[in-house]
Structure 1
Amino acid sequence: MTSFGLIGKIEPFDETIESWESYVERFEQYFEVNEIDPGKKVSSLLCLIGGKLYSLLRDLTFPDKPATRTYQELVRLLNNHLSPKPIKTAERFRFDKRDQKEGETITEYVAQLKKLSIHCVFNASLNEKLRDRIVCGVRNTQIQRRLLSEKDLSYEKAVEISLAMEAAAKDATELQSKNRTETRAVNRLHVKNRHSKPSDKKDRKQCYRCNGNGHVAQDCRFKDTVCHNCHKRGHIQKACRSKPTTPRKPIQRKKTVNFVADDSQDPSDDNYIASLELNNLARKDIIWIQLKINGKTMKMELDTGSAVSVMAKGEFREKFGNLNLKTPDITLRTYSGEHIKPVGYIDVLVEYDDTKETLPLYVVRKGGPALLGRDWLKEIQLDWKVIKETHAVNTVNPPNISEILEKYKDVFSDDVGTVKGITAKLSLKENKPKYVKARTVPFSLRAKVEEELDRLEAEGTLTKVQHSDWATPIVPVLKKNGSVRICGDFKVTLNPLLNVDQYTTIFLRI
């Protein structure tokens, strides 16, 4: 069959591009617009579907040839194989669990909800279900509050409000970003003009390194000098802001805490990189976070005062060898105004629990332990419950671990636990067994369902029987890790026949 002189074109079927149902719809339109003889439908279908699908069709019609079947039979065979009817309960479960993802627009979110609702059979309540899912699943809390405050909210109104607020938020962000850029440009110009007029004393600041005038702290000749009062580098004793101390008595330093900030921020902000020597901070007060960086397990000190995550050059070379560092585009500065130029930075793969993110790690020449700063905290959700837990240990007579494991071996066993000392009893309205035959499992889930059934039988949760008066269909639910959870749909068998205990509710008027 040639496409010369015909309207449109039908490509071979590709399941990665469209579903079989969609392909058949286009195929029908192709026949209609080109007024093809109905008697040639089978031949046209077999010629156009492609070699891969034709081979599958031969297997489905064996021992007959596909050409011996009617057009309706061929379409029905492929429908049953490629597009088995989904389970309504599972489809509704997926619909109810679908929330707006990060970075997903309202338009994309609504389109995905409509796609998920195809096999949910909502019928007349479709718009109501879509509206409820939008209100409950939208990520922006301001949009959600606005939708909840709307009286008699319809699906169309919910979409309209969400789109309008999303567009407004985007425009406002762009305008604010532009204003901040212009303001910083004006500030830089003002600083440049101020430095170009050394005779104007009103526009000049006193240097905090030496208390002198006529120069800025960055150009001060005492910026590498060690103070004789506080023993810190970067200023002289005359300009020291610390309380006077005895120079001969060394400072007992138990812990160094680093506060790091990006110097690209506005200079008027209170964000600095500071090296503070704290005498009262014990080793036990440090919060260590264990994670993986480029596949290597290591510990970093949690520091919410640090704007970026940093590591000393020596530790970096020890952990990661001679990896090539990128040229940094930021300059760090201390609390006292000293500028620190990082040696470089590198994008590393950070793994913590189920979170995997590619994040920048800055490398400085000297320093203490690696710091986990605020830039990583924005992307990594820490388990604060575990971090804040306090564990009391008996240090006088510490318990033997093997004794504890032996004493409570039932608790630490990997086997499925059982309830002991309690007998369950179900009271039925009538002892009339109900048998419901098994439902068709989607082809893509059959192997996983069989694997899960074998596992449950092996661990003793399920037991094979030859026959039974009772039978409940299963509902396979796909987990996030790709495995299947098997649930029993008892609402069609046992639940309607149960005598459920009723508890009287008493209201007291006060």
Structure 2
Amino acid sequence: MAEGYSLKPPSALDVHSRNLSVTWKRWKEEMTLYLDLTVDDAVKKKKTFLYVIGEDARKVYETLTIVNNDNAPIAEKDRTVEQVMTAFEAYCNPKKNETVERHKFFTRSQASGETFDEYLTELRTLAAECGFGAIKDSLIRDRILCGISDGKVRERLLRESDLSLKKCGEICRAAEVSRRSIQTMKNSEDIVHYAYKPGKARAKKQAVPQTGKTSSAGSCSYCAKKHPPGRDACPAYGKECSACGKPNHFARACKSADKKQPRKMGKAPGQYKKKTAVHAVEDEDHGDFLMTINDERPSPENAYAYGVNANSYAKQVYATMKVEGKSVRFQLDLGATCNVMPRKVLKKHNISYQVDSNQRTLTMYNDTSIKSDGETMLKMINPRTKKKYCAKFVVVDSVRALDCRLNRPVVPLRCGK
């Protein structure tokens, strides 16, 4: 080993590199320097080379044929490090297709985030394999002009009448430095310096209570009126909103997304019987239909209250109640005017009942009528609240009710609350 030197050897040669010729060229330069600085003996140089080159490269070495000037094979013990390097040079630099290499050069553009010097180095490396000869620098200049990512710099280059590769590089580097400087100055301008006194800020916040905030126009955001600051001066404090049911604000100042929609009005009084909206939306889980049951007796004074569009109530609501000790599933209907119990439900649950002689006629949404068996009183218990009820039900014929799509007990929604 050469006196005074203790150097780290190069890493193993990557014989699987996608660009093996470039990898070999760089590795060879580093290895040559290492051998010159650390090893004096020629035999040791060859052994050091074969050790440092790595296991994969040694496998390649075993397949190489090394010959002398007369094309006669050279024995392993007689080979020099120079002859071994020459054999690897031929292996790592096979004959290239010039057309393909030129295609790589002419399609190479500046990548996003790639600096100009990195782009120029890559173009020089590609041009070295293209055989351009004396026009190499001019072609690199042209490729920079076509492949640079900054359109403004391209316009600046096109304005030059006698543009050389050196001048092209100077313009591109100057534009890159200017762009970085502008970005640095812009970032500095975005910084905002401010100061405040925490004590005063807190005192100002406490001066306006939560329930007495006023808008920029001076109106309170809870009552929509003007009044002195403070929740005690707000007339809405302690009141309940008629729109959403929440406390401490009036409906005219309500910001809830759950406001009730105004009722749609029907025709004038006198043109309605006591009839509600019809809902015939099928339940996918149970195959039932949500209906409204209408009493034949006219009620003109309630025409507006019941003149609601059918699309206003699309959901089906059900509840389970204990009827005479048996669990029965009811369908709740906001528009129903009476409680309806199909005879088949009573029979199914073995519920004893007695009907009176009041055989009422019920009307469906499509004006189909059905005559009831009569009315009966049934005892019910809400299994959740344990409250007891005694409700009157209109009993209908199960077979005829099936034709009319009324095969489940129905009660008005107010009775299910």
| TM bracket (short chain) | 0.3 to 0.5
Of structures 1 and 2, the larger Rg is shown by 2
